[in-house]
Amino acid sequence: MMTEEVRRAIEEISGVIPESRIRRDEPMDAHTSFRTGGPAAAFVVAENEDELSAALSALAGSGAEHLLMGNGSNLLVADEGYPGVIIKLGGDFESIEQDEEDPCLVRVGAAKLMSSTSAFLTGRGLAGFEFASGIPGSIGGAVFMNAGAYGGEMKDVVESVRVMDADGTGLRELGNEEMDFSYRHSAAEENGMIILSAALRLRSDDREAIAARVAELSAKRNAKQPVNFPSAGSTFKRPAGGYAAALIEEAGLKGYRAGGAEVSEKHSGFVINRGGATTEDVLAVMRHVREKVFENSGIMLEPEVRLINCSL
């Protein structure tokens, strides 16, 4: 069911974005790495800043609920779906460009995947992004939550970020400091601004040495993580003074199941979809884990995965 606000916003958006990129009742299990979630009332792909600005302005004007998604690798969408408009970036937002005068500076569009960014940088002999090569998100999603792995975080490589305000106005470039990065956090989480691109500061190195480091981290990831099952990576944030996976294991929850969702046997920090899981199954596992870990350790785990139209 489409609300009146969504209907009005979509009518306006269709004056700017071709119908072929506006879908109704779009199943979100096709767009999330968990492979769960019901339909979004509308799903729009914006391919340049003008389209995005017009779409956001229409949404702000109509008051329709909306969400800008990246690659869907940190989202858990309700089985009932999402009653608003989901915007995804494509086209121009997938660009990547090395600065001609300053070759260690690379401008990457928000929709570009971390894996292809890493491949580009390796090919140009630019080091510093190896830590991020296996994170299955987009640059926008990674900047939004200061994604990190193997001792590196986006904040270590981001020099500046081009952003737009949530209402489609206010284009500007923010420096690293202004992004207020901290553990799995950036200023974008607070003010709803949209990340359009990021300028990454790398250092030059031997291509083969970079490729070898990427391969080593990829082998580590494959050995430790349940990469063959749908998931959203680490389900819970690292709590102060501990590791979520260790706390979950200590509470005896490895392999705990509800329906098709399970605390991974391979890495207890991951809830996986063993096949046919619903979002409700994943939530049931998450609720049980939080309760039992709290009973066992006194620590209340907070989700790292973003809950869309659902709650614990």
- Please, is 99 exposed, middle or buried when counting C-beta atoms within 10 Å of its C-beta (0-12, 13-18, 19+)? exposed
The helix (run of H) or strand (run of E) holding residue 39 is strand 39-46
Q: Which two tokens stand for residue 160?
A: 């500046």
Rounded (10°) CA dihedral 293, 296, 299, 301? 0
x/- mask, ligand FAD, residues 280-299, rule CB under 6 A, reads --------------------
Q: Which two tokens stand for residue 123?
A: 């090919």
Nearest distance, CB of residue 100 and ligand FAD, angstroms:
25
164 vs 15: CA distance, rounded Å: 21
Place of tokens 């991020």: 132
17: contact with ligand FAD by CB under 6 A = no
Active site residues: 184, 234, 304
194: contact with ligand FAD by CB under 6 A = yes
Which of these segments, 12-20, 171-179, 225-233, 290-298, binds ligand FAD (CB under 6 A)? 225-233
62: contact with ligand FAD by CB under 6 A = no
Q: DSSP string covering 132-161, please?
A: GTT--SBHHHHHHTT-EETTEEGGGTEEEE
Which of these segments, 10-18, 42-50, 65-73, 287-295, binds ligand FAD (CB under 6 A)? 65-73
Contacting residues for 247 by C-beta, under 8 A, at least 6 apart:
239, 293, 296, 297, 299, 301
DSSP state of 238: P
Which of these segments, 46-54, 174-182, 198-206, 229-237, binds ligand FAD (CB under 6 A)? 229-237
Residues 70-99 that bind ligand FAD (CB under 6 A): 70-75
Among 28, 46, 149, 286, binds ligand FAD (CB under 6 A): 149
108: contact with ligand FAD by CB under 6 A = no
Among 110, 179, 199, 301, binds ligand FAD (CB under 6 A): 110
Which of these segments, 3-11, 48-56, 227-235, 250-258, binds ligand FAD (CB under 6 A)? 227-235
Other beta carbons within 10 angstroms of residue 262's beta carbon come to 25
Among 38, 83, 137, 168, binds ligand FAD (CB under 6 A): 137
Name the residues that contact ligand FAD, by CB under 6 A.
33, 67-75, 110, 135-138, 140-142, 144-145, 147-149, 188, 194-195, 227, 231-233, 306
